[in-house]
């Protein structure tokens, strides 16, 4: 009989929590053959990136996964826990469910942690912690090195990406679905970030650039400052806003399934958080990462750790260019000089993005690592 897996996801804010767990649930089912349930407390956020998810329904099957609304009544109606339980991002499992795990005894309890390149993550990866009632909880850290849990990467992802790049028409066809028609020679930039005081200076630099830039803005907190910069009340999907060499379009929400295609179409991907950041790496294009801000600047250590790893095989000048760009963006500083430096090193950063992709592709993906950890634990 197939082993059963329950993944619990509490949406703290934004889309990263559900974005990651939804991808993982699908892969565990499709690629590893487990029977998977995904418990999520905020179906409205889920529906934004996956419109097939119905609102107001307790349980629904989608892509082979049973999606359950994590609410008290439904949890207390459960009479048995799954064989493997993933508590995503320390979301605190319900007491009733923990009691079911205790009663079942032979349950693998995993806490899936946030992604970080900090070396301590590899040291803590798969460490157990004894819980009351005798259960062990194991900490599972995704990551960028062999001694971590790896990254989410569907089995066919890179083949799909390569087919997309090999075709003349697929990018055009995708862009047409979001009403984007780039002009020849334009630099295409996806823009997905948190509110950032450096934004006006980035827009200014793009508009003063010698090359034409077309920015594809994802819905989110940048909308109002972009509108202000263009002296508009608000931005509308389907309209283009222009100033000198900058054209900007606000995109509608894109289904997560199509999100990769957007990244594949662009020459630079400005991404944020965790999931879009990883997808930008699989796109093999230069990226500008806006890391999720944490208290007391903890995120800056995380940023530095990833940068050190990512830029390891890069030439010194390009390292400086990229560092300047990422630091200015994450410190919400002026982006003018950083943008000029980036454009001077763009080609090398492009080749480097492909080198990084190839290197990361050598490691097993997160779902595979979870499945083999389970096999060994049995
Ligand atoms: C805007 C948009 C996003 N998405 C998806 C892509 C990703 O799966 C997801 C965005 O997730 P992220 O890139 O991780 O960024 P985020 O800021 O939304 O999520 C963050 O949430 C915080 C609570 C976490 O602590 C962060 O680490 C991070 O995960 O939303 C779409 O599919 N379509 C869209 O139109």
Determine the average pLDDT of the residues in 242-255: 98
pLDDT (0 to 100) of residue 1: 79
Q: Is 254 in the pocket of ligand 1 (CB under 6 A)?
A: yes
Nearest-CA residue for ligand 1 atom 21 is 16
pLDDT (0 to 100) of residue 345: 98
pLDDT (0 to 100) of residue 168: 83
pLDDT (0 to 100) of residue 133: 84
CA 15 to ligand 1 centroid distance, Å: 4
**Burial of 350 by CB count in 10 Å (0-12 exposed, 13-18 middle, 19+ buried)?**
middle
Q: Using the predicted structure, report yes or no on whether residue 217 has a pLDDT greater than 90.
A: yes
Q: Is 272 in the pocket of ligand 1 (CB under 6 A)?
A: yes
CA 18 to ligand 1 centroid distance, Å: 8
The single residue listed with the structure tokens 């993906």 is: 365
Q: Of 6, 17, 113, 275, which is the active-site residue?
A: 17
pLDDT (0 to 100) of residue 360: 98
pLDDT (0 to 100) of residue 105: 83
Kindly provide the ipTM of the predicted complex, given to two decimals. Answer: 0.98
Determine the average pLDDT of the residues in 13-21: 96
Pocket test for ligand 1, best of 11, 15, 306 (most atoms within 8 A of CB): 15
pLDDT (0 to 100) of residue 130: 94
Nearest-CA residue for ligand 1 atom 29 is 16
Model confidence pLDDT, tens digit, residues 30-46: 999 999 999 999 999 99
CA 16 to ligand 1 centroid distance, Å: 4
Q: Of 42, 83, 274, 275, which is the active-site residue?
A: 274
Q: Is 5 in the pocket of ligand 1 (CB under 6 A)?
A: no
Of all residues in the chain, the percent with pLDDT exceeding 70 is: 100
Contacts of the segment 277-282: beta carbons below 8 A, 24+ positions apart: 277/115, 278/115, 278/151, 278/152, 281/151, 281/353, 281/356, 281/357, 281/360, 282/153, 282/157, 282/158, 282/161, 282/357, 282/360
Beta bridge partners of residue 112, listed in sequence order: 88, 140
Contact 361, 153 (CB under 8 A): yes
Q: Is 217 in the pocket of ligand 1 (CB under 6 A)?
A: no
Q: Is 289 in the pocket of ligand 1 (CB under 6 A)?
A: no
Determine the average pLDDT of the residues in 149-158: 98
Model confidence pLDDT, tens digit, residues 303-312: 999 999 999 9
Q: Is 167 helix (H, G, I), strand (E, B) or coil?
A: coil
Nearest-CA residue for ligand 1 atom 6 is 276
Determine the average pLDDT of the residues in 210-218: 98
Q: Using the predicted structure, report yes or no on whether residue 370 has a pLDDT greater than 90.
A: yes
CA 349 to ligand 1 centroid distance, Å: 24
Q: Is 49 in the pocket of ligand 1 (CB under 6 A)?
A: yes
CA 35 to ligand 1 centroid distance, Å: 25
The rounded mean pLDDT for the chain is: 97
Would the CA dihedral through 50, 53, 55, 58 be positive or negative?
A: negative
pLDDT (0 to 100) of residue 186: 98
Determine the average pLDDT of the residues in 72-86: 95
Q: Is 19 in the pocket of ligand 1 (CB under 6 A)?
A: yes
Q: Is 218 in the pocket of ligand 1 (CB under 6 A)?
A: yes
Model confidence pLDDT, tens digit, residues 125-139: 999 999 988 899 999
Determine the average pLDDT of the residues in 259-274: 98
Q: Using the predicted structure, report yes or no on whether residue 97 has a pLDDT greater than 90.
A: yes
Nearest-CA residue for ligand 1 atom 17 is 273
CA 133 to ligand 1 centroid distance, Å: 35
pLDDT class of 290 with cuts at 50, 70, 90: very high
pLDDT (0 to 100) of residue 100: 97
Q: Which ligand 1 atom is nearest residue 15's CA? A: 18
In this prediction the pTM is 0.97
19-36 b/e (C-beta count within 10 Å ≥ 16 → b): bbbbbbbbbbbbebebbb
Q: Is 114 in the pocket of ligand 1 (CB under 6 A)?
A: yes
Q: Is 9 in the pocket of ligand 1 (CB under 6 A)?
A: no
The reply to whether 17 belongs to the active site is yes
Contact 235, 226 (CB under 8 A): yes
CA 43 to ligand 1 centroid distance, Å: 15
Tokens encoding 309: 């790893």
Model confidence pLDDT, tens digit, residues 313-369: 999 999 999 999 999 999 999 999 999 999 999 999 999 999 999 999 999 999 999
Q: Using the predicted structure, report yes or no on whether residue 188 has a pLDDT greater than 90.
A: yes
The reply to whether 274 belongs to the active site is yes
Determine the average pLDDT of the residues in 35-63: 97
pLDDT (0 to 100) of residue 71: 93
């Amino acid at each position: 009989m197939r082993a059963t897996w329950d993944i619990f996801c509490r949406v703290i804010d934004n889309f990263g929590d559900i974005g990651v767990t939804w991808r993982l649930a699908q892969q565990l089912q499709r690629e590893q053959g487990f029977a998977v349930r995904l418990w999520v407390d905020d179906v409205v956020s889920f529906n934004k990136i996956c419109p097939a998810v119905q609102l107001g329904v307790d349980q629904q099957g989608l892509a082979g996964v049973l999606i359950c609304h994590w609410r008290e009544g439904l949890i207390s109606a459960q009479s048995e826990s799954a064989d493997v339980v993933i508590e995503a991002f320390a979301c605190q499992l319900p007491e009733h469910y923990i009691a079911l795990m205790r009663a079942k005894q032979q349950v693998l309890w995993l806490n899936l942690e946030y992604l970080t390149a900090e070396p301590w993550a590899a040291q803590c990866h798969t460490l157990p912690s004894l819980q009351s009632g005798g259960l062990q909880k194991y900490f599972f850290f995704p990551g960028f090195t062999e001694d971590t849990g790896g990254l989410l990467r569907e089995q066919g992802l890179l083949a799909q990406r390569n087919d997309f790049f090999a075709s003349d028409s697929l990018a055009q066809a995708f862009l047409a679905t979001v009403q984007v028609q780039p002009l020849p020679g334009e630099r295409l930039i996806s823009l997905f970030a948190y509110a950032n005081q450096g934004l006006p200076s980035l827009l200014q630099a793009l508009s003063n650039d010698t090359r034409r830039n077309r920015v594809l803005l994802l819905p989110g907190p940048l909308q109002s400052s972009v509108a202000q910069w263009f002296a508009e009340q608000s931005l509308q999907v389907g309209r283009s806003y222009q100033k000198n060499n900058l054209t900007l379009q606000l995109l509608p929400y894109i289904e997560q399934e199509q999100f990769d295609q957007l990244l594949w179409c662009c020459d630079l991907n400005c991404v944020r958080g965790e999931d879009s950041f990883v997808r930008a790496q699989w796109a093999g294009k230069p990226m500008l990462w806006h890391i999720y801000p944490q208290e007391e600047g903890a995120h800056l250590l995380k940023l530095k750790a990833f940068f050190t790893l990512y830029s390891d095989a890069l030439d010194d000048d390009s390292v400086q260019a990229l560092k300047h760009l990422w630091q200015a963006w994450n410190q919400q500083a002026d982006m003018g000089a950083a943008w000029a430096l980036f454009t001077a090193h763009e080609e090398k950063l492009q080749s480097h993005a492909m080198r990084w992709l190839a290197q990361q592709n050598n490691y097993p993906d997160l779902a595979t690592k979870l499945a083999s950890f389970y096999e060994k634990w049995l």
